[in-house]
Amino acid sequence: MTVKEMNMSVDLPKPIADYVEANARLDIDGMLKPFLNNAVFIDNGKHFEGQAAIRQLFEHEVIPVKAIFMPDTVREEGGEVVVEGPAHGDFPGSPLRFTYRFTLVQGAIKTLETTV
């Protein structure tokens, strides 16, 4: 199953689908595009505020290990969109199952919290 087919099967909101599609291509600019300028990315408890900090996270922790998230479930929970699935890449324990919690504002990602 391709990422596009998987996105359709779990019916992701557009900014999340755009992020996942760009991640599948390891496209940093595409991954950043759905985020608000002042967005916050919380990666296993570490906070990255603003697009510049999020870009550095992608450059140092996603791209080098080719980490690609493949969502297989989505649900709404307390105003957040919760997406779960495995991430594959060149890192210990791959694939690891992640939970992504998105807060969307005006059609963009305001916060994203990832946990293993």
Q: What is the pLDDT of residue 96?
A: 96
Q: What is the pLDDT of residue 116?
A: 92
* Rounded Cα gap, residues 85 and 88, in angstroms: 10
Mean pLDDT of the chain: 93
4 or 78, which is more confident: 78
Residue type (1 letter), 13: P
Residue 45 in this model has a pLDDT that exceeds 70: yes
> pTM for this one?
0.90
Q: What tokens does 68 get?
A: 């690609």
CB 61 within 8 A of CB 74: no
